[in-house]
Amino acid sequence: MSWQARIDAALNERRENHAFRTREPNEQGNGRWLVRGEQRWRNFSSNDYLGLSQHPDVTRAWRQGAERYGVGSGGSGHVTGYHREHARLEAALAQWLGFDRALLFISGFAANQAVISALMQKEDRLLADRLSHASLLEAASHSPARLRRFAHNDAGALRNLLAKPCDGQTLVVTEGVFSMDGDSAPLAQLAQASREAKAWLMVDDAHGIGVLGEGGRGSCFASQVHPELLIVTFGKAFGVSGAAVLCSHSLADYLTQFARHLIYSTSMPPAQAAALHAALRVIQQGDALRSRLAHHITRFRTGAAALPLTLAESATAIQPLIVGDNLRTQALAQRLRERGCWVSAIRPPTVPAGTARLRITLTAAHENDDIDALLEALYDACRE
């Protein structure tokens, strides 16, 4: 089969399965409204859970940082790209979350891949929750270590895998909050099982940091768990982009030597680090924002309980409605857009086959009227 034939076959298969992805440019897509040209919709697809992407303190810090430092870092952090703004942010994150060190990365995807790539060797094994993010599972599959996946959020299944012999070291990988289901990992149980087996625990808390736990410290703090590795990303509640790995002094030194994603990537601009530091301060004082988000979650779940769709067991900002059929999911999303509500239709392979869903995300930027408009649109779309 030629290159072109292979490409055409793969694209045709996606189209036939109603799983073909497209992108369209927005003029505004991270706040309460999604805007394209003359059209706008109430936005229920943004991960900007606290509305910080447009917070005046955050945008001001970025603007002032750009005016002072320029809009780029100029290189890898191992050459000239490591700036005092990066160092200040790393120190603040480590102190806030109770770790020795923090290392900044350009994305959560890069951070997850960097850690697994640098740590794992042929005699080691990775035990990952079956619904872990694609960045984790892809890095694990490319690693020389052996990958085994345990049943979603099942500490017993993890214990069974841990009981089997391993010639090297074991890294247990999970998320704090799962991005497509909105449910939380049983971190205390997973941590205990890992500790008893002398395995390390790595938690990707992309969707928990800033939202859960005292002061927004995230899923691990809320569960009173201190993993060996904590990944926090800045594209959700922080409202910006990038990520950090929280760990011990020695592990930070090791990653600085061997994490290729860190060594060979251009650092984030110092202005971005300044904006993230401002976002951190807002999060630390953001109890009112978290309370507002919790109110919206309760309002939505109360109203959605009677819908003829399966409402996932989620207490977080991610509120999936399971539809099942790909084509019906797309049709429902389109009907919602016709009624002024932008909701994403998520289909396989992003989620397991037969679990296509409307992935609804709520934010502190929403108003009560937005939640009510969404519920009314959902009832109308389902009746049709």
Annotated catalytic residue, options 48, 85, 175, 205: 175
Determine the pLDDT at residue 321: 96
Model pLDDT, residue 28: 78
48 band by pLDDT with thresholds 50, 70 and 90:
very high
| Structure confidence at residue 23 as a pLDDT band (50, 70, 90) | confident
Q: Strands 356-361 and 344-346: what pairing?
A: antiparallel
3-state SS, the chain, equals: CCHHHHHHHHHHHHHHCCCCCCCCCCCECCCCEEEECCEEEEECCCCCCCCHHHCHHHHHHHHHHHHHHCCCCCCECCCCCCCHHHHHHHHHHHHHHCCCEEEEECCHHHHHHHHHHHHCCCCCEEEEECCCCHHHHHHHHHCCCEEEEECCCCHHHHHHHHCCCCCCCEEEEEECECCCCCCECCHHHHHHHHHHCCCEEEEECCCCCCCCCHHHCCHHHHCCCCCCEEEEECCCCCCCCCEEEEECHHHHHHHHHHCHHHHCCECCCHHHHHHHHHHHHHHHCCHHHHHHHHHHHHHHHHHHCCCCCEECCCCCCEEEEEEECHHHHHHHHHHHHHCCEECEEECCCCCCCCCEEEEEECCCCCCHHHHHHHHHHHHHHHHC
Instruction: Give the model's pLDDT for residue 19.
Output: 79
* pLDDT value, residue 273: 98
Give the pLDDT confidence of 104-140 residue by residue, as tens digits: 999 999 999 999 999 999 999 999 999 998 888 888 8
Write out pLDDT tens, residues 257-283.
999 999 999 999 999 999 999 999 999
Binding-site residues, please? 21, 108-109, 133, 179, 207, 233, 350
| Annotated active-site residue in 204, 205, 228, 370 | 204
Work out the pLDDT band at 26, boundaries 50, 70, 90: confident
User: Which segments are annotated as binding site for substrate?
Assistant: 21, 133, 350
Instruction: Tell me: pLDDT of 29 over 80.
Output: no
Q: Where exactly are the structural domains of the chain?
A: 26-50+287-383, 56-284
Mean pLDDT of 44-66: 97
Q: For this structure, is 175 an active site residue? A: yes
Q: Is 236 a catalytic residue?
A: yes
Active site residue 179: yes
Rounded to whole angstroms, how far apart are CA atoms 294 and 145? 40
Q: Does the predicted TM-score (pTM) go above 0.85? A: yes
pLDDT band (50, 70, 90) for residue 350: confident
In angstroms, the CA 325 to CA 303 distance is 23
204-221 tens-digit pLDDT: 999 999 999 999 999 999
> Which pLDDT does position 147 carry in this prediction?
95
Instruction: Tell me yes or no: is domain 56-284 CATH 3.40.640.10.
Output: yes
For this structure, is 295 an active site residue?
A: no
Catalytic residue among 86, 133, 277, 366: 133
CATH architecture group of domain 26-50+287-383: Alpha-Beta Complex (3.90)
Catalytic residue among 132, 153, 179, 184: 179
Average pLDDT for residues 175-193, to the nearest whole number? 97
Please give the pLDDT value at position 137: 84
Q: Determine the pLDDT at residue 86.
A: 98
Determine whether 204 is an active site residue. yes
Binding residues for pyridoxal 5'-phosphate: 108-109, 179, 207, 233
What is the overall mean pLDDT for the chain? Answer: 95
CA dihedral for 217, 219, 221, 222, sign (positive or negative): positive
